[in-house]
Amino acid sequence: MEIRIDRDGDIDSWKEVTLIYNSALKQISTKLEILNDEFQHVHRYNPIEHIKSRIKTPESIVKKLKKHGYESTINNMIRYVNDIAGIRVICSFASDIYQIAEMISNQSDIKVISVKDYIVNPKASGYKSYHMLVTVPVYLSDRIADTKVEIQIRTVAMDFWASLEHKIHYKFEGNAPEHIKDELVECAQMVSDLDARMLALNEEIQHIEQQELEEYSE
């Protein structure tokens, strides 16, 4: 693995790249934690179960650049690889996904570049998730670096399925046997059904709690 350094660029070393992208992840993570705390304060409910973040490895970045016919340079990384910094937000219910996405979009210093809704339009494999590509300003001593971060929002059940699908993809290098692919698609439908049933159950519980609160206040 080798990434060629462009000395004429604003970002001229791998160390500086990781510093900036890690800083962007910290900012997004902190924002999400604050929003989750606020949601708990206002609604007595936490939409976010947990948050995972990562910086893409140099090997993965080079592989992606080569796949699309680009040289392995720092400038090409920043320009063409949108998921160098990735953050995954795991929530309990499907309805939480869109609430979290809206909260992120409403942040004045976060710019939403694009959205891919794989919940409304799942991939052929059965993959479901809500993807947002955003930029967040990273304040350095001599400049502000608007930095891209890919945010994936999904339920616990969707994340469980995606983790298994990811392992299978790399195990068979994208060419898994057909019966395994078919089984994954069936499992994805089961996950979707489970999410729907859990959401309905949660809404029923909330309705009962609201009724009890109204009766108590009378």
SS3 76: helix
Over the Cα atoms of the chain, what is R_g? 20
The structure tokens listed for 70 are: 């680009």
CB-CB contact of 148 with 85 (8 Å) = yes
**Domains of the chain as residue ranges with CATH:** 14-156 (3.30.460.10)
pLDDT bucket at 12, cuts 50 / 70 / 90: low
Span 139-162, mean pLDDT? 95
Residue recorded with tokens 């160098």: 84
What confidence tens digit (pLDDT) does each residue in 96-137 have? 999 999 999 999 999 999 999 999 999 999 999 999 999 999
Across 35-39, 78-82, 203-207, least confident range:
203-207
